[in-house]
Copies of this chain bind each other. A is one copy, B any other.
């Protein structure tokens, strides 16, 4: 494919267009991903999540600056559930990151999802495969820490960084519900504020209580002031350490296999569902069943069972 060749030459426009194809679930997208997949396996995927206003974009921007000094090629995928209707590609209020967009070794893009099954996490995984194949060294996945999305996205990341800020009692409540389980590293941003140590202590206490769960690794807590680029080197060091452990730590190896399996599961289930529905769509059985459900002669759950009786005995 011409567009894949262009992307492999580093043409950002071509990269963007492949990702757009993935978002739109075009047939060509699968072809591109099949071509690119064998080239993957080099990138380090880092999820950055946290409540709105916690400074995720500012942190990522500061991390890009740090990694660029080493010469690393950096990708950023910004996931914004509310941008689904606009069609992505808009970086919105991520102004601070924009100064990196002219750097040829930095690729930044918003991700939107239109498909129903798998949705945004599937689209994001596709985009990660593209950037991985193009040898981006570190790829940040930025998600707003509300709702289900950051839980889904954590399955795409090798390492998940949860960003907190002082003075958000509610945010800590949210943390309890799920972020505590997905965090590999806590960053307490805007740490120039006096209440920063309270947040650190609070997180520390919550991590103490976590003892006894299946998760063995204890995430570090690092204070940053991303706007002033303070504390950033510590975050980079934590990322480096984590990355180097990935090949030897049994827990991380198992996690990586779980993530891969989950992606295969998601694709296989979708494909199976589409195949089955395609076969049913052309059958008289479906039309008959619809009428039966409409007339309350059968409930939709029993109807589904009946529809699959012959196809999946």
**Chain A residues in the interface with B (C-beta under 8 A):** 30, 33-34, 37-38, 40-41, 81-82, 84-86, 113-114, 116-117, 119, 146-148, 152, 174, 177-178, 257, 260-261, 263-265, 267-277, 280, 286, 289-290, 293-294, 296, 299-305, 307-308, 311-312
Contact = CB atoms under 8 A, between A and B. Distances in A.
A146 B82 contact: yes
Given A85-B178, A86-B177, A273-B272, A37 B296 contact: yes
Nearest to A274: B269
A144 to B, nearest CB: 9
B82 A147 contact: yes
Nearest to A303: B264
A227 to B, nearest CB: 26
A264 B304 contact: yes
Nearest to A280: B268
Given A81-B81, A85-B147, A305 B260 contact: no
Stoichiometry, as copies per complex, reads 2
A17 to B, nearest CB: 19
Contact of A38 (B274, B276, B294, B299): B299
A111 to B, nearest CB: 13
Nearest to A269: B273
Nearest to A302: B34
B296 A41 contact: yes
A183 to B, nearest CB: 15
Given A117-B117, A277-B269, A304-B267, A257 B290 contact: yes
A244 B267 CA distance: 44
A18 to B, nearest CB: 15
A277 to B, nearest CB: 6
Contacts of A304: 264, 267-268, 271
Nearest to A261: B290
20 contacts: A30-B301, A37-B296, A38-B296, A41-B296, A117-B117, A260-B290, A264-B286, A264-B304, A268-B280, A268-B304, A269-B273, A270-B273, A271-B304, A271-B305, A271-B308, A272-B273, A272-B277, A272-B311, A275-B312, A311-B312
Contacts of A272: 272-273, 276-277, 308, 311-312
Given A296-B40, A303-B264, A174 B290 contact: no
A228 to B, nearest CB: 31
A268 B260 contact: no
Given A273-B270, A276-B269, A304-B268, A293 B81 contact: no
